[in-house]
Amino acid sequence: MKEQIKVLFIGDIVGRPGRKIVKDYLGSLNVLTESSPYDFIIANVENASHGFGLTEKNHKELADLGIDCFTSGNHIWDKKDVYSYINNSDRLIRPWNYPKGTYGVGYRIFDVKNTKIAVMNFLGRTFMNPVDSPWEIVEQEIEKIKEQAPVVIVDFHAEATAEKICFGRFCSEHKISAVLGTHTHVQTADEKIINDYTAYITDAGFCGAYNSVIGMSYEGSLKRLVTSIPERFDIDDSPVAELNAVSMSFDAVSGQAQSIERIQFIKDYSEENT
């Protein structure tokens, strides 16, 4: 039997509720021990610090949980101390298709279980701020990366479902192992393996308050939507939290995806508050 690589990808972590349930879920899996079911763990962290950006303190907190790689998106710059540590982080990546000279890097290669995993991060361009073409970067760089790492995983941080689906198909033609959508915070039910090679889901979902509006309080979201007047978004502090993720397995030699499965984990913390 060919050796497998098991990977867990955690959807956008939103604020303290998201960090808390990620801690509890990973703790239940014993990921810091040899009995962990996963060889490698990735999480999108662009909203991990009060819903906007990532502080250095929270970077360390999440790293200590056993998360091996942090992907991000357009909100990674919202906490300004990111500029002081992103170039020194050994696991944080920002979207690769920002202009040259942007702080940080757009991909990293990790040593995992006698093989290598490359993780790449891109922003979509539909309904998003102008960035360079992710399509061109994949065409120009993928062969060089695959020479170094057989397993290649992409976090495609994008708004439009059509763009995500098309990019997933495009990446499968370039033998990329997985394309996992982030940004909308709503887990989609379309996990599949495209062209018998690439694990795909349009959006992996989020980790945060279960009764929130994509992690934010209902009251603030309602006021903003009803009045069209800018309103401060605050993290929802209701006691029930959820974690969305996808579990995947890959052939360690070829990088071909063998399985992808959605995960939803819900926990009620109300007794802790009494």
pLDDT value at residue 272: 77
pLDDT value at residue 144: 97
pLDDT value at residue 99: 96
32 torsion bin: left (phi>0), alpha (psi -120 to 50), beta (else): alpha
Which residues touch 80 (CB under 8 Å, ≥6 apart)? Answer: none
Please say if 50 is a catalytic residue. Answer: no
Catalytic residue among 50, 59, 75, 185: 75
* Ordered domains of the chain (ranges, CATH): 4-209+239-273 (3.60.21.10)
pLDDT value at residue 2: 57
- Predicted TM-score of the model (pTM): 0.96
Cα separation values, 95 from 40, 56, 194, Å: 20, 18, 23
**18 phi, psi to nearest 5 deg:** -65, -45
pLDDT value at residue 62: 98
Q: Is 66:41 a contact under the CB 8 Å cutoff?
A: yes
What 3-state class would DSSP assign to 130?
coil
CA neighbours closer than 13 Å in the CB half-sphere of residue 73: 30
Helices (H), 49-193: 56-63, 82-85, 134-148, 161-173
**Residue 95 to residue 124: CA distance in whole angstroms:** 9
pLDDT value at residue 230: 81
Q: Dihedral through CA 100, CA 104, CA 108, CA 110, nearest 10?
A: 160
Q: Is 115:124 a contact under the CB 8 Å cutoff?
A: no
Q: pLDDT tens digits for 70-88? A: 999 999 999 999 999 999 9
What 3-state class would DSSP assign to 190?
coil
Cα separation values, 187 from 37, 137, 261, 262, Å: 22, 27, 12, 9
Query: Would you write out the chain's pLDDT as a tens digit for each of its 274 residues?
Result: 359 999 999 999 999 999 999 999 999 999 999 999 999 999 999 999 999 999 999 999 999 999 999 999 999 999 999 999 999 999 999 999 999 999 999 999 999 989 999 999 999 999 999 999 999 999 999 999 999 999 999 999 999 999 999 999 999 999 999 999 999 999 999 999 999 999 999 999 999 999 999 999 999 999 999 999 887 789 998 999 999 999 999 999 999 999 999 999 999 999 875 4
pLDDT value at residue 158: 98
pLDDT value at residue 273: 59
